[in-house]
Structure 1
Amino acid sequence: MHSLPLLDVAIIVLYLIAMILVGVWFSRKNKSSEQFTKASGMIPGWAVGISLYATFLSSNTFLGVPGKAFGSNWNALVFSLSMPLAAWVAVKYFVPFYRTSGGVSAYSHLEHRFGAWARTYAMVCFLLTQLARMGSIFFGIALSLQALTGYDMTTIMMVTGICIVVYTVMGGIEAVIWTEVVQGVLLTFGGLLILYLIITNVDGGVSKIIDIGMRDKKFSLGTLDLDFVRPSFWVILLYGFFINLNNFGMDQNYVQRYHAATSAKEAAKSVWLCVRLYIPISLLFFIIGAGLYAYYVQHPELTDTIRLQAAAERLPSGASQDEVVALSNTLKAEDYGDKVMPHFMVSKVPLGLLGLVISAIMAAAMSTISSGMNASATVFTEDIYKRYIHPSSTNKQALRVLFIATAVFGVLGIITGISMIGVKSILDVWWELSGIFAGGMLGLFLLGIISKKAGNSDAVIAVIVGVLAILWMTFSYLVPGEYSYLRYPLHANMIIVVGTLVISLVGSLLANLRKR
């Protein structure tokens, strides 16, 4: 870390060592698969709630949200505003269901409802979603640390990935939850510190940030027109509701924490605590984005530097300076928004505090990635290993598979992150991929709840129709121009909405027709 002061390097190293030591400490308890996956149901609700909050607050939030607010407006904040309704549905229906079902896997009950294929299908969708999530977060942390340290992104992903793998494999879900409590506090502190530094560096302070934001419409939540082609208020609201319903309702990361809580009541409290923490803190990061926009409006020469850097990264290594300048002149704010926060941190965060802020960004990444690794390993062990490979496995064998699977999914997450190098917006990539993978899974789950009449054959046909619809919506942009009328006309964030509704409604309709 040659470009960082020694004090900041020491803080980051100490933080990484502390996280590994947490894994070592909790490794003494991991004598059974139940302890590794559910912490034997002994975690208090407030800790589970902060852990859920930290899982939401990934490095995508720390870097992607300010970058999105810098490049466009507060339209993406509507995603957070959809959380209370999704949380209400989860607390009323999903939390009691999972606490009474007993199975640690979120998808085992689908086999009882529709057959083994349904469980396998949902499990595959979840694992793909987790790989996309972990990859986008690895990419986000590497993007930030590259600007701060000078190391290449691949090296950063591998080093941070190894640290995450070590403490997650050793500590299990209990280590993940308690480290997420610390990481959630650290991340919140980092966000508040960044906001304070922005306000003190903008000439005119808060009032000037508001003036510039109002002038350039940075506080807009999107058009209220019923427009589903552009990212309107309603598109993001619908997308946020379905994604958050998927998160709270059938994402293994969250379902596992419901089981880790001491009771169903404590699990329900944890969901509401997560919502109460996340909404104001997500607003904080949108305010940071607006503040960064005002700061760089006042310092256009710094904006030119960032734009040149973004252009250089998009061109081959042998590109001339004239080519870099020509490309930089064509870039818009949304094309380099993700690079603004790291640039500000390098230039304005004082000695010692920079190490804390970098640790906060790493905490954001590590909390979500470790959750994804643990949940993915649990799903693999419960829904693949115990179901198909070794149904009569002993507790010791299952625990060994959990260790190995956790490490494997960590490596796959790193590989996915490396493959994302060069994308325009972290937040956009994650939103699009999660919408594609989660839509079919949520649709099938809702079909099982909404329609008591729906049977195996109804669900099979509904999923086939839904998957075909999702594939068409995702890849129809490849249709040649002369057949443009065959392209999907709505915004990409509507894929999860349409895909979910197609599966649940088609299945319900078939069940009713068959009944008649």
Structure 2
Amino acid sequence: MKNLPLFDLGVIAAYLVAMVLVGVYFSRKNKNADQFTTASGLIPGWATGLSIYATFLSSNTFLGVPGKAFGGNWNSFVFSLSMPIAAYVASRFFIPFYRKTGEVSAYTHFEHRFGPWARTYAVVCFLLTQLARMGSIFLGIALSLQALTGYSMQTIMLVMGVCIIIYTVMGGIEAVIWTEVVQGVIKTFGALLILYLIVMAMPGGVSTIVDIGNANDKFSLGSLSPDFTQSTFWVVLLYGFFINLNNFGMDQNYIQRYHTTSSEKEARSSLWLCVWLYVPASLLFFVIGSCLFGYYQQHPELLETIRRNVALERLPASASAAEVSRMAATLQPADYGDKVMPNFMVTNVPAGLMGLIISAILSAAMSTISSGMNASATVFTEDIYKRYINPNPSAKKQLRLLHIATIIVGLMGLGAGLAMIGVKSILDAWWTLSGIFAAGMLGLFLLGLISRQTRNREAMLATMIGVLVIIWMTFSSKLPDEYAYLRNPLHSNMIIVIGTLTIFLVGVLLTKLNGHSLEQTKEATLLSNE
């Protein structure tokens, strides 16, 4: 624990106040729902691109990625390498599709294509994904600030949640985007500053870090063997491609931004700006994780404190000192990877810089949470309230509803974060949950977009089968040993891959079979008439 100097506290306070004032400033422009959700299409493409980049660069990246690199290697960086492939598909097909529909919700067309059930299913999957995302990000920010300030994680989440809710509710999407532009710059500069401080604190500098990393295989991208039961290069590449395809093609956070620009060309350029910024930025965080591993290899005594703190978190309060010591001795680097960067900051960051770095961590969390809150409120208003309750609310009522929905979603995300306290890895938790919830949406979307002959009945049956497959892959590991042969043998990152392909391929197959049956019926009818 560290008592922050007044200067650092002032920097943090100034940052939080500035974010709230941005919301106050843009609140004067939010006179209708269109301004709140799309900024009337007046945001320049470069600002939208920086906003998407800032949404990607969350506290999961800021803390989870260095933690993964510390506890393992650079295998998860393959996720970032898949982004350009997914971005090409999105810019070529998805952006023109959404710009042509002109609908602010990403899920309205599901009803046009397959009926109300499809739209409702997609909305539920999206909202669950957002709660998982916001919860993991609230947890990430609480983990870091607890080590830096000594306050409880619950208190930190509550204070940050209130600040985020205020400026998101008041400013709408325009406040979200322009604060994310600033936050994207702050968090990138903060990461570079942390890297500089680690290298400067390391005896022997960069060469020693590289030698330790090579000796411990810290720079590997994973095995190239065709093994889908482990987190190999190919498993992460497939996971990254499908989850990024879902992000760029199905996630309301990004679809909504395609409508904030003035043209399709601007929307495409904003997407590519995000990709070319995020790939090197994510590499920067893997480098930070490897540097931290080298640093703590040179200072193993510091790891004792980290391991002991993790053991105290996992054991009941009544645990004896001997029990704590025994558990601490059994912990592996992957068990406490998320803790090492906050610990380094506590012990090495000089006064005057701590406030700036904490502001960078705050910005990493706030940008993604505020974006998720605005997108979720939009989906609730467009796809639930206007669809099932009141299709034609007045402009004033619709804006008020967006405000209320934003507050409710923010509080639910905060609750999800509180429920996640104690998870082993923030990044693993988020990847698993996002893969489960996103698989069904993406498979149904691709089925409707590619297989134009597929109709409601085939799509519904394919989705039901796909959901059963996703449930089996997710929960079969909990089956008792006598049913071990029924367990899912694949890595959990393959859930979105198999789930998506199941819905799409089963839907195509059913469409073909149904079309064949119809042809046979027509032929039989013609023969009987003759």
Q: TM-score range by the shorter chain?
A: over 0.9
CA distance in 2, matches of 1:446, 1:97: 12
Aligned to 1:224: 224
CA distance in 1, matches of 2:62, 2:357: 10
Aligned to 2:213: 213
SS in 1 for 2:259: helix
Q: Which amino acid aligns with 2:459?
A: A
Aligned to 1:337: 337
CA distance in 2, matches of 1:40, 1:341: 41
Aligned to 2:487: 487
Aligned to 1:496: 496
CA distance in 1, matches of 2:452, 2:271: 27
TM superposition score normalised by structure 1? 0.99
Does 2:85 match 1:70?
no
SS in 2 for 1:76: helix
- For residue 515 of structure 1, report the CA deviation from its aligned partner: 0.8
Aligned to 1:346: 346
Farther-moved stretch of structure 1 (394-403 vs 412-421)? 394-403
Question: Which runs of structure 2 are paired with 1:131-210 in the superposition (5 Å)?
Answer: 131-210=131-210
Q: Which amino acid aligns with 2:116?
A: A
Query: Deviation above 4 Å: which 4+ runs of structure 1?
Result: none
- For residue 368 of structure 1, report the CA deviation from its aligned partner: 0.1
Aligned to 1:271: 271
Aligned to 2:114: 114
Aligned to 1:458: 458
- For residue 146 of structure 1, report the CA deviation from its aligned partner: 0.4
The answer to whether the Cα contact below 8 Å between 2:132 and 2:430 also exists between their aligned partners in 1 is yes
Q: Which amino acid aligns with 1:264?
A: E
Aligned to 2:527: none
Aligned to 1:26: 26
Distance change >3 Å, CA 417–CA 346, structure 1 → 2: same
Aligned to 2:308: 308
Farther-moved stretch of structure 1 (270-279 vs 4-13)? 4-13
- For residue 318 of structure 1, report the CA deviation from its aligned partner: 2.0
CA distance in 2, matches of 1:69, 1:471: 30
Aligned to 1:505: 505
Aligned to 1:240: 240
Q: Which amino acid aligns with 1:295?
A: Y
The answer to whether the Cα contact below 8 Å between 2:30 and 2:36 also exists between their aligned partners in 1 is yes
CA distance in 2, matches of 1:27, 1:12: 23
Distance change >3 Å, CA 159–CA 42, structure 1 → 2: same
CA distance in 1, matches of 2:16, 2:315: 34
Q: Which amino acid aligns with 1:56?
A: F
SS in 2 for 1:382: helix
Q: Which amino acid aligns with 2:436?
A: I
Farther-moved stretch of structure 1 (124-133 vs 308-317)? 308-317
Aligned to 1:442: 442
SS in 2 for 1:363: helix
Q: Which amino acid aligns with 2:320?
A: S
SS in 1 for 2:330: coil
Deviations 1:179-214 (A, max 9, x none): 000000000000000000011111111111111000
Aligned to 1:45: 45
SS in 2 for 1:25: helix
Does 2:9 match 1:4?
no
The answer to whether the Cα contact below 8 Å between 2:60 and 2:426 also exists between their aligned partners in 1 is yes
CA distance in 2, matches of 1:2, 1:32: 45
- For residue 405 of structure 1, report the CA deviation from its aligned partner: 0.1
Task: Give unpaired runs (5+ residues) of structure 1.
Answer: none
Q: Which amino acid aligns with 1:454?
A: T
Aligned to 1:101: 101
Q: Which amino acid aligns with 1:220?
A: S
CA distance in 2, matches of 1:3, 1:309: 18
CA distance in 1, matches of 2:449, 2:313: 48
Aligned to 2:523: none
Does 2:58 match 1:55?
no
Deviations 1:394-453 (A, max 9, x none): 111111110000000000000000000001000000000000000000000000112111
Q: Which amino acid aligns with 2:163?
A: C
- For residue 478 of structure 1, report the CA deviation from its aligned partner: 1.5
| Length, aligned pairs only | 516
Deviations 1:146-179 (A, max 9, x none): 0001111011000000000000000000000000
- For residue 2 of structure 1, report the CA deviation from its aligned partner: 7.0
Does 2:390 match 1:390?
yes
CA distance in 2, matches of 1:94, 1:261: 15
Percent identity between the aligned chains? 69
Deviations 1:9-44 (A, max 9, x none): 111011000000000000000000000000000000
Q: Which amino acid aligns with 2:405?
A: A
CA distance in 2, matches of 1:179, 1:415: 24
Task: Give unpaired runs (5+ residues) of structure 2.
Answer: 517-530
Aligned to 2:409: 409
- For residue 476 of structure 1, report the CA deviation from its aligned partner: 0.4
CA distance in 2, matches of 1:18, 1:352: 19
CA distance in 1, matches of 2:323, 2:17: 43
SS in 1 for 2:75: coil
Aligned to 1:126: 126
- For residue 355 of structure 1, report the CA deviation from its aligned partner: 0.4
CA distance in 2, matches of 1:189, 1:356: 9
Deviations 1:481-516 (A, max 9, x none): 011000011000000000000000000110111111
TM superposition score normalised by structure 2? 0.97
SS in 2 for 1:185: helix
CA distance in 2, matches of 1:317, 1:50: 45
Deviations 1:40-97 (A, max 9, x none): 0000000000000000000000000000000000000000000000000000000011
The answer to whether the Cα contact below 8 Å between 2:2 and 2:148 also exists between their aligned partners in 1 is no
Q: Which amino acid aligns with 1:262?
A: S
Deviations 1:341-373 (A, max 9, x none): 000011111111110000000000000000000
CA distance in 2, matches of 1:297, 1:439: 40
Aligned to 1:368: 368
Structure number, greater radius of gyration: 2
CA distance in 2, matches of 1:31, 1:333: 51
